[in-house]
Amino acid sequence: MTSEGVSMPDGPLIVGFGGSTGPMSMTSLLLERCLAHAVTRGARTLVLGGDELGTLPIYGADGEPPTPVATALVEAVREADCVVIATPGYHGGMSGLVKNALDHLEGLRDDPRPYLDGRAVGVIVSAAGWQAAGTALVSVRSAIHALRGWPTPFGVTVNSVEQPINDDGSFDQRVDGALEILAGQLVEFAGWRAAARAGVR
Ligand SMILES: Cc1cc2nc3c(=O)[nH]c(=O)nc-3n(C[C@H](O)[C@H](O)[C@H](O)COP(=O)(O)O)c2cc1C
């Protein structure tokens, strides 16, 4: 029996977080589009966007009780079968907003599946140049490894100068195709993991 034969009646849960603040964030729009492709493939999705993540306090383990958004982020990732992280390239790495959100995953440290353990994690980066797109992708993947996640083989890097959003809000066909491939890899991983846990070969 293949992984396709394993029943996930409600569909895998794919949680996306990241983007920038404001309605015109390219990274946020890329994240939403990727999750829409995942829904087409039968997934359930949940997103915490830049505006929500922007309300998070700087993580500092200062003993303050977690804010509602910090709790929502930790609970969403706890329930997630797979995760998508979207960031703009800032000075060659991920943005502080996204790194701070990742730091808040410290709330999963004592879980049976700590941090990003057992989850495929896709990465989307938009940057104004290819160099930062590549280095930011690597920076997020390094953090995913540190958090015990499984970076997907395929990452989506978009050059916001050469591949801008179309006037109707859609993306260049190659960008959209890349988001579709990423969504496919996440849903596929969730099926494989469900099959492995069910002891199906
Ligand atoms: C503080 C800051 C730093 C940035 N650093 C870089 C950079 O090092 N390299 C680059 O190519 N683009 C850089 N950019 C451009 C953004 O990565 C790019 O415009 C991105 O598409 C913005 O995504 P957003 O619309 O989701 O905010 C920077 C932008 C800001 C605001």
Strands (E), the chain: 13-18, 44-48, 82-90, 93-94, 120-127, 150-151, 156-159
* Runs of H (alpha helix) within 81-172: 96-104, 130-146
Atom of ligand 1 nearest to the CA of 158: 21
Residue 159 sits in a domain whose CATH number is 3.40.50.360
Q: Which residue has the CA at smallest separation from atom 24 of ligand 1?
A: 25
Q: Lowest-confidence range among 64-68, 83-87, 149-153, 189-193?
A: 64-68
Domain count, the chain: 1
Q: Which residue has the CA at smallest separation from atom 18 of ligand 1?
A: 127
Determine the pLDDT at residue 98: 98
pLDDT by residue (tens digit) across 124-177? 999 999 999 999 999 999 999 999 999 999 999 999 999 999 999 899 999 999
Instruction: Tell me the CA–centroid distance for residue 54 and ligand 1, in Å.
Output: 16
- pLDDT at residue 1 greater than cutoff 50: no
Best residue for ligand 1 mutational test, from 21, 126, 159, 171 (most atoms within 8 Å of Cβ): 126
Q: Where in the sequence is the domain holding 111, given as residue range(s)?
A: 3-197
Percent residues over pLDDT 90 in the chain: 88
